[in-house]
Amino acid sequence: MATAISPSARRLVARRTSSIDRLAKQFGQQFEALTGEQAKAFSAYQAQTAATMAPYESALKTYQSNMATYDAQAASYASRLKAYQDQLAEIAANPTVKKIEVIEEKVPRFSVLGKNMGSYIKRTEVEVEEPRPLPAAFTEAAPMAPEAPTRPQIAAFSTEPFQARRKGLEEGLQRELGERRSARLAAVSRRSRSMLSGA
């Protein structure tokens, strides 16, 4: 036959259960508040990071645009420099150029009693070699590459303070539950001693 639970025992069980429920609810609220605090701190961190990165991102876009211009200028400069170097190489390989020159000479037609009686111009073609003219010196300066912006150093978001507080809450809850459990065991042990001594 099952033993009936007395009303006082029922009240005691209900009080213990509600006490643990209140404790769990209290710690649950603290955990929620801590989670909200962490989310708020992370949002502030993200906003600060965005504000810190904004000038860098703007400078990076300008740099990328300038790099495209620089690449085009550098390619054009390299092309002109190569053309100049090719011209010098061709002159080094063939330093002279052959030209035909016409030499005019006055030649007497005939002479009478040792006296020249008219003359004509005799033209003779002669091949001569002349040094090839050097091109004007290449004095164009190479284009300057734009300076890359420096990325700001941003520390990672630290969750350590929140983890430490969360751990403290968990330990506090475990301690509270342990104290209540040991208090209940002590009460049960006192009751059982008093029952045994009364028997």
Give 2-17 pLDDT, tens digit per residue.
Answer: 455 555 555 554 455 5
Res 1: pLDDT? 44
Top-confidence residue, 176 or 63: 63
Is 14 exposed, middle or buried (CB count within 10 Å of its CB: 0-12, 13-18, 19+)? exposed
Top-confidence residue, 143 or 24: 143
For all residues of the chain together, what is the average pLDDT? 82
The rounded distance, in Å, linking the Cα atoms of 12 and 90 is 110
- What is the helix (H) or strand (E) element at residue 130, kind and residue range? strand 119-131
Residue type, 3: T
Decide: 136 and 47 in contact? Cβ < 8 Å. Answer: no
Long-range contacts of 59-62 (CB under 8 A, 24+ apart): 59/149, 60/149
Band of residue 20 on the pLDDT scale cut at 50, 70, 90: confident
- What is the helix (H) or strand (E) element at residue 71, kind and residue range? helix 7-93
Instruction: Write down the domain spans for the chain.
Output: 8-95+132-198
The rounded distance, in Å, linking the Cα atoms of 53 and 59 is 10
Nearest to 135 by CA among 84, 195, 169: 84
Does the pTM exceed 0.85?
no
Res 67: pLDDT? 93
- Residue pLDDT, tens place only, 98-130: 888 888 888 777 766 777 777 778 888 888 888
Decide: 117 and 109 in contact? Cβ < 8 Å. Answer: yes
Res 10: pLDDT? 54
| pLDDT more than 90, % of the chain | 31
Res 89: pLDDT? 92
Encoding tokens for residue 58?
Answer: 């703007």
Q: Which residues pair with 127 in a beta bridge?
A: 100
- Residue pLDDT, tens place only, 39-88: 999 999 999 999 999 999 999 999 999 999 999 999 999 999 999 999 99
